[in-house]
Amino acid sequence: MADRPRRPRLRRTLLAALVTFAVAVPVSGAARPETVPAPAPTALGPLRDASPAALEERYAVSRRDIRAAGRAADAHGDRQRAASLRAMAAPGRQFLSFDGRDGGRSVEVVGELSSARRIAVLVPGAGVGLDAYGRLRRGATALREELGGGTAVLAWLGYRSPATVSPAALTTGRADEAVPGLRALVDEVRAARPAARISLLCHSYGSVICARSASGTAADALVLYGSPGVGAKSVAALRTGARVWAGRGGDDWIARVPHVRVRVPFVATVGFGTDPVAARFGAEVFDAGDGGHSDYLLPGSRSLTNLARIAAGAEPLGASR
């Protein structure tokens, strides 16, 4: 009788091939997003006051910084970046912070943070930056509409998001860089709105960031969706008091990514280990519908409904262990 295929070995081979591909394929086309120049932003201290007047002052300062970055991008000849920044600086947009350098960092508020009783922080995955910011904004807006009054959604672009197909998307390096900023934001929001419920909604590579921020987090819920793994074997390994949820859409290609961690010579440890929706991981699994990898925040979807329910402190529809 022929031996059965050795699945662990096959998965390691596939993952190593993916790393080799990501390293070998040259970056082509326009200059990298982080090379677009931008002026240093106005120095803003930590968020301590969430009163309407204090928030409006921060929003006005950030709006001026976004406009300055837009002028720099225009002068540099990057029309895509300039157009994106013009949209971000539109009247009514609310940014707690903005820095256009090194690919861009920002925290946008959708809703009224000063009175919010439920606050969701969206942590995006690979391929998200200032040039593709509209996608993150649309997701935040859809979630806020699903949540309704008394809520706020914070779209957190707090790190250098890796390209979807790249070595950085297969290792924890960018996530480790992002951890201090995410922890600081959650701590500041908790101090400014101590009675509010705070949820971290973490998509794809963003789930790696959230997991590495989990220990000691001030968030009430940690939601991992469309996740390739988080670099931990189980919920217990996260050492968090937050309630941990996981979900994956039925047509999400991330399900086909090998859930292993492999040391690749001369590169790094690649892959993120245990699948968060697997029973052995120990998360509470919610029904994320039948959508694809980019569909979790689509209006009318089961995934959006359940993400909003979790953020609101309600049980998701069709939840299971």
Phi, psi (degrees; rounded to nearest 5) at 150: 75, 20
pLDDT, one tens digit per residue, over 160-192 is: 887 666 676 677 788 889 999 999 999 999 999
- Residue 281, H or E segment: none
Query: Which alpha helices (DSSP H) does 27-172 contain, by range?
Result: 52-76, 79-88, 133-147
Query: CA geometry: angle at 307 spanning 110 and 227, to 5°?
Result: 105
Task: At 257, list the tokens.
Answer: 């990514």
The one-digit pLDDT tens for each residue of the chain (321 residues) are 444 444 555 455 545 444 443 433 333 333 466 689 999 999 999 999 999 999 999 999 999 999 999 999 999 999 999 999 999 999 999 999 999 999 899 999 999 999 999 999 999 998 889 998 999 999 999 999 999 999 999 999 999 887 666 676 677 788 889 999 999 999 999 999 999 999 999 999 999 999 999 998 999 999 999 999 998 999 999 999 999 999 999 999 999 888 877 776 766 777 778 999 999 999 999 999 999 999 999 999 999 999 999 999 999 998 554
pTM of the model as a whole: 0.89
Alpha carbon separation from 20 to 10, 24, 144, 255, 256 (Å, rounded): 15, 6, 40, 21, 18
User: Is the C-alpha dihedral spanning 157, 161, 164, 169 positive or negative?
Assistant: negative
Burial of 268 (0-12, 13-18, 19+ CB in 10 A): middle
Other Cβ atoms closer than 10 A to 174: 18
Q: Give residue 26's Cα distance to chain centre.
A: 26
pLDDT, one tens digit per residue, over 83-112 is: 999 999 999 999 999 999 998 999 999 999
- Rama region for 104: left / alpha / beta (φ>0; ψ in -120 to 50; rest): left
